[in-house]
Chains A and B, each alone.
Chain A
């Protein structure tokens, strides 16, 4: 650092100073930054500074064929890519009026819920690491890897599966796969009490996370908060139940809620959701052997596929919140406009900015990780 590059500024003595928090900082999730103004330890003002991961997705999607975009969309949210594929596929299906076979719908639900389990385990790991509990991080990452092994087996990709295409799913499940799914679920379930003892009931975590980043239900609704973060304020809203897609209306599951709306409640909601996801996958595993039929509706030649003109809006519940796609087609081989409404853009920008004010600087990481924002999806 050359001193001559910096101009001294005469300023009155003050306890206030500004700090760049990120983008290369262990307390920040991914490549994201905050500019914070501090008085001592207390945050006076926080300003989100995104754009480090901007790739111009919505523009790129207008330049590629409908089918090519399937490979592009999972990259929008890296830890939880499956809902992205599904939501986009659903939009194209609606535009074309494609009817998806039942079996494909069940397989899709299994994929979504497995992805949710993986994403939640990963979030616990990251959140625990911010409180210095690295063993939980090691556990979370290792257990997530078991789910990724399942993904690899039935989709071919560990992280990005690119398994959903408009009309159904790409391939049939391997033989004996459902058995391995239930074994993995059994194992993850047997681990949960250990997680409770190590992390969720651990006083280190409880004391750090309680009463940090509190938001009320009215605030949450006004700020556009969705998903587990909204449910942590006491409102049981879940797209899976309130606007069912695929076959969620045939499944039994509960919507866990918490009342306090702080970082602790948000993480606890995720922990309960993990149980519900395991329950859902169990139901799918039980039902799938009896559901026969094709896994894909016939689609025209994908390289010369003109999707009928029209517009549509689809929404699904991803592990971070409500994920929506607005897709417009002008009848051509490429989308005319695609807009992604991701949950994290609200959580990481306006909500994080507001919740950080008044907290201490070391609690920003708690707030950020408990909101479970996903920077690549903020910037897109």
Chain B
């Protein structure tokens, strides 16, 4: 009986920590994506789709679907990094097209 109780306890505990681990991973990924998105925004470069991905990640996380949340957050992060790189590039290289430049 004691052994059985201990066994159940371990199973419950490990499942519980498993879920928690996924949740923390997802939460960390969401926070990281938000920070990256904010960085792109600070250069006026954020994309609309990133907002949507972050929102979906948060919804998945709230429903307890840590895997899905993690995937969506990672995707959001990647997008935000692309957006930031684009904005940085544009700040240095923007120019009117040749046909609108003085000859």
Q: Do A and B come from one complex?
A: no
Q: Hey, which bits of chain B sit against chain A, CB under 8 A?
A: none
Q: Hey, which bits of chain A sit against chain B, CB under 8 A?
A: none
